[in-house]
Structure 1
Amino acid sequence: MNQGEIGVQRAIKLKELKDQVIVITGASSGIGLVTARMAAKRGARLVLAARNEAALKELTEELREAGHEAVYVRADVGIEEDVNMIAETALKSFGRFDTWVNNAGVSIYGKAMDVSYQDMKRLFATNYWGVVYGSRVTVHHFRERRIPGALINIGSVFGDKGTLVQSTYASSKFAIHGWTESLRMEMDREKAPVSITLIHPGRVDTPYNEHARSYLVHQPVHKGMIYPPEAVAEAILYAASHPKRDIYVGSQAKMLQLLGANFPSLTDKFWEGISPRTQYDEKRKSNSPEESNLYHAGYGMHERGTNLGWKRKRSMFVKAAKHPVLTRVIVAGICVWAVLKIK
């Protein structure tokens, strides 16, 4: 735990999940869907937002039938008025919200020089401006009521290190990382009652690849080591009740960040060699542009996608983030053991 996290923890005490109202954008599939189901089981009341109204309605009915409280809002987070409507629905339904999760996102698979400006701008409307709108609504809410709460922004391994094939997506995530860090410093300086967390997921097994706008011949996929959406949801819900600066989901996310920061040229060469072929399936033809969710809602109620590779059951980095003291004791023990073995 770094000094920034210690300072935040001293200043802000967040509610337990069972006492919270949580707003989740992009709740109709993937990480958002898993987070909603997990949060409901832990007693949180939910405000669910996405563009797919049919999926939202189905999810809300599912949760209510299980005895949980939830409402939904059909909203495009790339439109400021829609984001304001999400907040208004939370206030009307529950009188407040305690955590806002900026999860909604879209992607584009295509070379930097091939993707149209129109598609780039549309992606940024969702990925970047959606986060900005949600962040500002959240900060205003906590400031005005002088109550502590959590803002959780979903970044990416590609927000720490650029990549081939998904340059537009990576650029939007870099922007989210910069926005989140800058906003956090401003809020810390004025001692605002808001905990701001950036989640750094590695590759996650969601329908992300099938929803993406593709310029490729072959179908986009994740290959290699892939983490379950439950690992990201676990990180999100921990940050909702425990102030944290950053949580990395998966060793690949942390390692790529460290390598890129300390050995940039070497990491570039390494990534140039392995990255492209891990992002598409040669056996399948790519979906048509009309099937993507860039300009309209994609299909909903699917937690996972059609990715290939080693699908992990959990992320040990998330477990370590939840138990920092225990993790340090274990690491120290291993180091002492190693020294004694050498002697």
Structure 2
Amino acid sequence: MSKRGRVLVAMSGGVDSSVAAVMLHEQGYEVIGLTMKTWDYASSGGSSKETGCCSLDSINDARALAVAYGFPHYILDIRNEFSGSVIDNFVEEYIAGRTPNPCVLCNTHIKWEALLKRANHLDCEFIATGHYANIRVHDNGRYVVSKGKDENKDQSYVLWGVSQENLARTRFPLGNFSKTEIRQMAEDMGQHELATKSESYEICFVPNNDYRSFLRHQVTDLDDRIGPGNFTLSDGTVVGKHEGYPYYTIGQRKGLGIALGRPVFVLEIIPETNTVVIGDEVELQRSAATVRNINLMKYASLEEPMEAITKVRYKDAGMTSTLSQNGDTMQVEFHHAVKGIAPGQSAVFYEGNDVIGGGFLA
């Protein structure tokens, strides 16, 4: 075993995880590559050629790189676990009238757990991924996820759920690099095709980013169970019909299929009555939020209210807020109103570049 230790690297076949594996290899770690098969188009209702991190081409690309650099590579089929946790939750959340956050669940409950379980079998001290984020140890001894150097690629938002125990064994080699620098590294490695691979910003298991068709494929009697319902205004006035509440999300403007002579947005989803409340953009604004199932990183708990930046979406710039903890719930008071708070999405709390913690919007 090398002096740096043995590390199991999650390799999707993309440029980020591939360069991460090579970086660790060149830094003197004993690298073992692992590609996880989490889904396939057939089970998701897709008909086109598979693309992305779980395709056969991507698996072969990961393996070819490992062979080129002389380290072992394994494939781990976790489709059953992924389906039973991430996909089932995705469907259940929409049926509950919420907007799910599958990447957080996948990171927390699938990828990290699957990686660490296999790392233990292979006597690996560490695991590593190609996330654009950093991990540091705070003065109080706790492990903290911090923002990556590349603000446009920073992925700290989707990592709030990782436990202290798991963070202690995690490495993020790309945290101090930009995407442009990583692509150049791949070019310098002689991996032109890898360096120029396109990126997908869609949910990996939803074909063509069409979540409505995906829901119908997963729940074949969904349209029978939940038929058309009413669009109403905030005062209860019925202004039209919708296809069924699971097919809408908070803040949605396009695709509503209703014309009121002005832009309108989804303000609220009421599953009990199959009602979708719509209204003007200003009505989306909220001054407070409740966040459930919180996981704290930087501090074990918040004994007193504290000021922080809270992000309620991945690409959200964040808003200054005051946090007050009550058990596994956090009350967030925004200093200025924010819009588009969608139950089921993540709220992540920052102190500077550090993730204080996060949870799901109630």
Q: TM-score, normalised by structure 2?
A: 0.32
Relative to total residues, which structure has the larger strand share, 1 or 2? 2
From the CA coordinates, give the structure whose radius of gyration is larger. Answer: 2
Q: TM-score, normalised by structure 1?
A: 0.33
Relative to total residues, which structure has the larger helix share, 1 or 2? 1
Report 1 or 2 for greater relative contact order, CA contacts < 8 Å, sequence distance ≥ 6: 1
